[in-house]
Homo-oligomer: A and B are copies of this chain.
Amino acid sequence: MSQPIWIGLLGLGTVGSGTLRILENRAQEIARHLGRVVKVKRILVRDRQKPRAVPVAPELLTTNPADILADPEIKIVVELIGGIEPAFSYIKQALHAGKNVVTANKDLIAGHGGELLPLAAEKGLDFEFEASVAGGIPIIRPLKVCLAGNKIEEVKGIINGTTNFILTKMTREGSDFAAVLQAAQALGYAEADPTADVEGLDAARKLAILASIAFNTRITLDDVFVEGITKITARDIEYARQMGYTIKLLGIAKEQDGRVEVRVHPAMISANHPLAAVNDVFNAIFVKGDAVGETMFYGRGAGELPTGSAVVGDIIDVARNIIDGNTGRLACTCYYEKPVKPIGQIETKFYLRLLVLEKPGVLAAIAGIFGQEGVSLQTVIQPHQVGDEAEIVLVTHQVKEINLQNALRCLEQLPIVKAISNVVRVEQG
Q: How far is the CA of A130 from the CA of B299 in the complex (A)?
A: 21
Q: How far is the CA of A309 from the CA of B30 in the complex (A)?
A: 30
The one of B274, B297, B316 in contact with A277, judged by C-beta atoms closer than 8 angstroms, is B274
CB-based contact A299/B305 at 8 Å: no
Q: How far is the CA of A338 from the CA of B203 in the complex (A)?
A: 42
CB-based contact A291/B22 at 8 Å: yes
**Interface presence of A1 (CB below 8 A):** no
User: Closest CB-CB distance, A132 to chain B, in whole Å?
Assistant: 13
> What residues make up the interface of A, taking CB atoms closer than 8 Å to B?
18, 22-23, 25-26, 29-30, 32-33, 130, 136-138, 141-142, 145-151, 274, 277, 289-300, 303, 305-306, 308-313, 315-317, 320, 324-326, 329, 333, 335
The one of B25, B151, B309 in contact with A147, judged by C-beta atoms closer than 8 angstroms, is B309
* Protomer copies: 2
Residues of B near A141 (CB, < 8 A) are 141-142, 145-146
The one of B29, B30, B148 in contact with A312, judged by C-beta atoms closer than 8 angstroms, is B148
CB-based contact A292/B305 at 8 Å: yes
10 contacts between A and B (CB under 8 A): A22-B149, A138-B142, A141-B145, A145-B317, A148-B317, A149-B308, A149-B312, A149-B316, A289-B309, A295-B297
Residues of B near A30 (CB, < 8 A) are 148-149
CB-based contact B292/A33 at 8 Å: no
Q: How far is the CA of A305 from the CA of B149 in the complex (A)?
A: 10
User: Closest CB-CB distance, A157 to chain B, in whole Å?
Assistant: 12
The one of B274, B306, B333 in contact with A291, judged by C-beta atoms closer than 8 angstroms, is B306
User: Closest CB-CB distance, A143 to chain B, in whole Å?
Assistant: 9
Q: How far is the CA of A325 from the CA of B315 in the complex (A)?
A: 22
Residues of B near A289 (CB, < 8 A) are 136, 309
CB-based contact B151/A26 at 8 Å: yes
The one of B33, B149, B297, B308 in contact with A333, judged by C-beta atoms closer than 8 angstroms, is B33
Residues of B near A309 (CB, < 8 A) are 147, 149-150, 289, 291-292
If A141-B146, A292-B309, A295-B138 touch, does A29 touch B151 (CB 8 Å cutoff)?
A: yes
Closest-by-CB residue of B relative to A303 is B293
The one of B18, B150, B298 in contact with A295, judged by C-beta atoms closer than 8 angstroms, is B298
Residues of B near A33 (CB, < 8 A) are 148, 333
Residues of B near A148 (CB, < 8 A) are 30, 33, 312-313, 316-317
Q: How far is the CA of A137 from the CA of B146 in the complex (A)?
A: 8
Q: How far is the CA of A326 from the CA of B141 in the complex (A)?
A: 18
CB-based contact A324/B329 at 8 Å: yes
Q: How far is the CA of A25 from the CA of B329 in the complex (A)?
A: 25
Residues of B near A150 (CB, < 8 A) are 22, 26, 309
CB-based contact B326/A308 at 8 Å: no
CB-based contact A310/B146 at 8 Å: yes
Closest-by-CB residue of B relative to A314 is B146
Q: How far is the CA of A275 from the CA of B316 in the complex (A)?
A: 30
Residues of B near A311 (CB, < 8 A) are 149
| 3 A-B pairs with the lowest CB-CB distances in the bound complex, closest first | A149-B312, A138-B146, A295-B299
Closest-by-CB residue of B relative to A305 is B291
Q: Identify which of A30, A277, A313, A325 gathers the most chain B CB atoms within 10 Å of its CB.
A: A313
Residues of B near A291 (CB, < 8 A) are 18, 22, 136, 305-306, 308-309, 312
Q: How far is the CA of A31 from the CA of B138 in the complex (A)?
A: 25
User: Closest CB-CB distance, A76 to chain B, in whole Å?
Assistant: 14
If A148-B33, A316-B149 touch, does A296 touch B298 (CB 8 Å cutoff)?
A: yes
CB-based contact B299/A293 at 8 Å: yes
User: Closest CB-CB distance, A294 to chain B, in whole Å?
Assistant: 6
Q: Identify which of A30, A145, A292 gathers the most chain B CB atoms within 10 Å of its CB.
A: A292
Residues of B near A295 (CB, < 8 A) are 136-138, 297-300
The one of B136, B296, B325 in contact with A299, judged by C-beta atoms closer than 8 angstroms, is B296
Residues of B near A325 (CB, < 8 A) are 326
